[in-house]
Structure 1
Amino acid sequence: MTEDLLWPRYAEPGDLAAIEAVPLADRGLPASTYALLVRAAERRPEGIATIVLPDAARRRDPVTRTFAGLLADVHRYANLLREHGVRRGRAVALMSPNCDELLPATLAAQLAGIAAPLNGGLAQDHLAELLRRSGARVLITAGPELAPAVWEKARALAGELDTVLVLRPTGATGPPPPLPVVDGVRTAHLAHRAAESDPHTFAGEPPRSSDLAALFHTGGTTGAPRLAAHTHANEIVDAWTVAANSSFDEDSVMFAGLPLFHVNALVVTLLAPLFRGQRTVWAGPLGYREPELYARFWKLVEDYGVTTMSAVPTVYATLARCPLDADIGTLRFAVVGASPLPAAVRESFQAHTGVELLEGYGLTEATCASARSFPGTPRPGTVGQRMPYQRLTAVDPVTGRDLAPGETGVLTISGPTVFPGYVVGHDERGHVLDGCGKLTGGRLDTGDLAAVDEDGFVHLRGRAKDLIIRGGHNIDPAVVEDALLAHPAVTAAGAVGRPDEHAGEVPVAYVTLAPAATVDEDELVAWAADHVPERAAAPKSVTVLDSLPATDVGKPYKPALRADATRRAVHEALGGAGEADAVVEDGTVVAVVTTSEHDSPRVRAVLARFAVPARVEIRPERSLRP
């Protein structure tokens, strides 16, 4: 592969056409994530690949690996996995906060079989279901030294496993402590057990581009999350389009604070730097959730010469309030994604640091990144331009017809990063995959409403399922949110539909406020009414919260807001006839009313007036003692 073909100019929006004039197949990308690592180790064997911090307080005492050292550990770990029966079509589950051993373990799982990262914060039944779907019989997990709570969840999964391989904290020294006995399961410390394995080569066949590399769960707040499959080709192409950014070079330093069960951590901060031989500085096990990190963050940027970082809006909102007590001249730009970026967060971060915030867009089913922004060429109101070789198109939600540039419809993605499907079962050939309604003719339905302009820039308009339908009139929640975000005291906003017996739904909103703000909810309702573009979109209520609900990786979680709005609506309508609640079940909000047998007919009649799923639970009658 020639460097000219590998690294075209990709510095501004106009470069896209020239890049795509060369067929992707001619660029000679590595066949797999393993081949990518081998290439990096051959080109820069003694270059520093990873710098992993034990925690923020010990930022000057990290564990470092060269590219050659990373490859050697991947060989050791993959050969050990092979000894434990892992083969090409078999998944290896990984459940641990970030630590220095988790990085080679993840790549080793992709080499020996298929990596299946799990979020240890999920409910136990969700973890068991994901493990069952993946088919993994080997689990790599945090030990009691690193994360006691995760270790206990791992022990509870023992009945589904043959082998548990344990990770130690970053920088742990001395012999590993004895592990508690887990009945019927082989347990060992991963690095200790792999120390005698061959570091020079992998004993099995290397993966092909069409082989599965990973199974990522997509969600996890309620209901059993789905497992989205990625091929090695999916991950390689997406990582290359990230690395092809002309703002990067071999001297660039990436900061990583997202957990490795999230695709951004894998693709953007682990795989993409391998293409150019860049180093990545990894935060401690809590990542961006470590309070101490923010107190020392700017010093950390100065110490390691951090060039860029990737995080969610809440991280930048916090950093905008952290005193700038270091020289951060190396920080060229910062990338933000996973949820919409409020203008106030962008303005405060950029004013505080002088560092440009660049929005991106992507989702697990399209591997990770599908749109990017460019330094020095802002496109307000967009999340960036589509990335090379991916096709992003808005389609009519009813007919499926492609819409003209600038027209709003459901955003679809096609191209080499679109996943092959969700895991729905297993057969003699391995995992059975299905698009589950998200894939049609190779196109991925993102579920987002968007317009794509003539230059390929994506203008998000909200989630298709988040549309508020008032008396048959579609209301984009973004127009309500934008109106509220224009208020100087509002720092975040979420608008949803509240069930209404006459209109079907009416808009309501939830907000967070800046510290010391004195505005009340009635004032915010009046403000929104004056600033929304149409009367029908004016929210009926505005509720102030300490924080808006979010998933574990910082994405807004609107089902929780819809559930609260449903509970309030049902409570008002019942007039004391029962105790109203609402829960989210597999992404659907269900009203739940607990009442007496006597009041149940009245309750059912009230619930019938709302177009929401509902159930009635009868409260046991108290027995009367003689």
Structure 2
Amino acid sequence: MTTETPMAWPRYDHPDDLAAIEATPLAARGLPGTSYDLLRRAAAQWPERTALTVLPDAASWRTPRNRTHADLLADVHRAANALHRLGVRRHDSVALLSPNCDELITALLAAQLAGIVTPVNPALARDHVAELVRRAGARVIITASPELDPEAFATGAELARQGLVDHVLVLSPTTGGTTTLPSVPNATVAHLADAAADCPHDRFLGEPPTSGDLAAFFHTGGTTGAPKLAAHTHANEISDAWMIAANSVLDDDSVVFAALPLFHVNALVVTLLAPLFRGQRVVWAGPLGYRDGVLYAEFWRIVEHYRIAAMSAVPTVYAVLAACPVDGRDIGSMRCAMVGASALPDGVRTTFETATGIPLLEGYGLTEATCASVRGFLDVRRPGSVGQRLPYQNIRIVDADTGAERPAGQAGTILISGPTVFPGYVQGPAADGHLISAQGKVTDGWLDTGDLGYLDGDGFLHLTGRAKDLIIRGGHNIDPRTIEDALLSHPAVTGAQAVGQPDERAGEVPVAYVTLADGTVGEDDLRAWAAAHVSEAAAAPKAVRVLDALPVTAVGKPYKLALRADAARRVLSDVLGDIDHVQGISADADSGSVTVTVTLGALAPAAARGEVERRVGNFAVACRVVAPHRGDD
């Protein structure tokens, strides 16, 4: 690792730059080996430059807590040494259970230095949190304080009472201040700041990680029970962060805005590690992030004040921001807004870019490939595409049945290879580390994403659907099995299938279809039952619909595409129902993805067609508008 001179960055703002970048092997670029090496490099090159500006909450954006790169390194040393003193070693996991706050950033990097970090969504059901902690083998949990997130603290304390963890370390709100912590049987309980106060700040006392060591376990949507835990090595994280940082859109002085939760890979890789490569300042939102309603009222003031150059969010965030008046604020610093995690409706793109003048930069990735694998370009727009593969990653499109490679323009299963592909899912702790298996997800270095798409003639990726059944609500993965299991626990339900229904704000929301033993229970009662029995509020279905029979394939397997088509037809029927010239709305999934057809009357004026297209454009759904004797769109 070289710390005397800044890293030379290749030109990367056009698709044609990819070949020149890859002419230099990744191994020859001298990347830091680990997140710790990356942090030390930043502290050596830019010790007095501000690394973090953390807002206590959206309303208090004028009074943040600032830390330099040197401050951050010193704090990470202290916290990592505190973990080391508690017995955390290279193959030990440390669980995090907290909304974003200033100390959580320190805790995450410290846990990766002392051992392996396992960030967990505090909104998950307590039994799911317990299962993830058990599978990770974590004996130390770092939780929010009672005043920061009382439920997270209560969950950490309960895991200690159950004997699942031995130590509970507590994070204070960004505003500071500490309260007396209650004692918890079977565990030591202390504020992280107090536990680290007397630890060395200038070095780590334990064994530092190497590039091949495990760095993190991130949970992702599974098929049954608790979410899966995807393992990441330091090399996975560093290579992906470098690929994201190696762009010509931002320079070393650019300021990045971060508001996604740190249990999400995007928050770690895109808005923490990638900025460390360039010494960029990151402004972190408060604990509610994009869920803080006040943030939207203050957002353009924050952009103007801190000269924000880039941000990363899901489509629903941009749909809301498009309706927030700029009111003459100087937001010219914002070069681009990155978007991913779920499909970007054309209407959201058009409305946001028109209202703000800020271009949306799409990307594609998944936790099993660390974070990002595809990105778009500001000056080369390819409608319908999420972009070009990132350097040193490769993409193939194959037939789902035969594995044969599909030619350009023909859809199939998306496979990814390269240095970001994960080693596998964590099955549980073992005597010498962890049991990790790719479970058929990786074959000969190629990751089966479970997504469907095609590459055009220029190598741009177009997504056409998901082979997997995950419902993605505002960028949050929902396992449909949790909804189905909840409904099947009702004594009258004999069958249940949950799918995503297109939604103007959330991208899609869960809905369910059921069959009943008798007709004594209504759909509203079933919806209330599901909401009371699912593992998290986001998974509560917006509607439960009763059918005589659930659709199946010719071999008797559940056919969810038919249900997705029905859900799309229903929601667009509601949205377009007041347009006089709409004569019919249908949906089919014969092509392997859902397409909605809107039929207009023969004498429908152009304005009616335009209004249909405008409304449909706010949904991530393929749509045909048909007018008899006038041709099809």
Q: TM-score, normalised on structure 2? A: 0.77
Q: Which residue, 172, 187, 196 being the options, matches 2:176? A: 172
Paired residue secondary structure (2:294): helix
Return the offset for 1:184: 1.2
Q: Which residue, 383, 408, 413 being the options, matches 2:411? A: 408
Q: What are the superposed Cα offsets for residues 354-396 of structure 1, whole Å, 9 maximum, x if unpaired?
A: 0000110000000000000111211111111100000111111
Aligned counterpart, 1:199: 201
Rounded to whole Å, the distance in 2 between the matches of 1:536 and 1:190 is 49
Aligned counterpart, 2:566: 508
Paired residue secondary structure (1:125): helix
Aligned pairs (5 A) from 1:67-466 = 67-158=69-160, 159-173=163-177, 176-219=178-221, 223-325=225-327, 326-465=329-468
Quick check: 2:96–2:119 contact (8 Å CA) kept in 1?
A: yes
Quick check: 1:6–1:29 contact (8 Å CA) kept in 2?
A: no
Return the offset for 1:272: 0.3
Return the offset for 1:509: 2.2
Return the offset for 1:496: 9.6
Q: What are the superposed Cα offsets for residues 488-546 of structure 1, whole Å, 9 maximum, x if unpaired?
A: x99956899973379775331248979x96726999892346x99989967699xxxxx
Aligned pairs (5 A) from 1:409-558 = 409-465=412-468, 499-500=550-551, 505=559, 506=562, 507-510=565-568, 519=577, 526-528=584-586
* Structure 1 residues 134 and 490: CA distance shift in structure 2, 3 A: closer
* Structure 1 residues 194 and 443: CA distance shift in structure 2, 3 A: same
Aligned pairs (5 A) from 1:35-54 = 35-54=37-56
Return the offset for 1:465: 3.5
Aligned residues: 522
* Structure 1 residues 408 and 78: CA distance shift in structure 2, 3 A: same
Aligned counterpart, 1:584: none
Gaps of 5+ in 2: 471-498, 514-549, 599-618, 621-633
Aligned counterpart, 2:489: none
Return the offset for 1:149: 1.4
Quick check: 2:49–2:68 contact (8 Å CA) kept in 1?
A: yes
Return the offset for 1:439: 1.0
Aligned counterpart, 1:564: none
Aligned counterpart, 1:569: none
Q: What are the superposed Cα offsets for residues 168-199 of structure 1, whole Å, 9 maximum, x if unpaired?
A: 000214xx221011001001000122111100
Q: What are the superposed Cα offsets for residues 92-111 of structure 1, whole Å, 9 maximum, x if unpaired?
A: 00110000000011000000
Rounded to whole Å, the distance in 1 between the matches of 2:583 and 2:505 is 12
Return the offset for 1:454: 3.7
Return the offset for 1:54: 0.4
Rounded to whole Å, the distance in 2 between the matches of 1:26 and 1:61 is 43
Paired residue secondary structure (1:393): strand
- Percent of aligned positions that are identical: 58
AA partner of residue 421 (structure 2): V
Return the offset for 1:77: 0.2
Paired residue secondary structure (1:330): coil
* Structure 1 residues 77 and 453: CA distance shift in structure 2, 3 A: same
Quick check: 1:408–1:450 contact (8 Å CA) kept in 2?
A: yes
Return the offset for 1:218: 0.4
Quick check: 1:111–1:206 contact (8 Å CA) kept in 2?
A: yes
* Structure 1 residues 92 and 410: CA distance shift in structure 2, 3 A: same
Quick check: 2:392–2:419 contact (8 Å CA) kept in 1?
A: yes
Quick check: 1:382–1:458 contact (8 Å CA) kept in 2?
A: yes
AA partner of residue 462 (structure 2): H
Quick check: 2:315–2:507 contact (8 Å CA) kept in 1?
A: no
Paired residue secondary structure (2:230): strand
Return the offset for 1:456: 2.5
Q: What are the superposed Cα offsets for residues 317-348 of structure 1, whole Å, 9 maximum, x if unpaired?
A: 00001111221110011000000000000000
* Structure 1 residues 497 and 384: CA distance shift in structure 2, 3 A: farther
AA partner of residue 500 (structure 1): P
AA partner of residue 310 (structure 1): S
* Structure 1 residues 525 and 15: CA distance shift in structure 2, 3 A: farther
* Structure 1 residues 253 and 512: CA distance shift in structure 2, 3 A: farther
Paired residue secondary structure (2:200): coil
* Structure 1 residues 142 and 289: CA distance shift in structure 2, 3 A: same
* Structure 1 residues 6 and 456: CA distance shift in structure 2, 3 A: farther
The alignment yields a C-alpha RMSD, in angstroms, of 3.1
AA partner of residue 397 (structure 1): A
AA partner of residue 449 (structure 2): T
Rounded to whole Å, the distance in 2 between the matches of 1:119 and 1:367 is 17
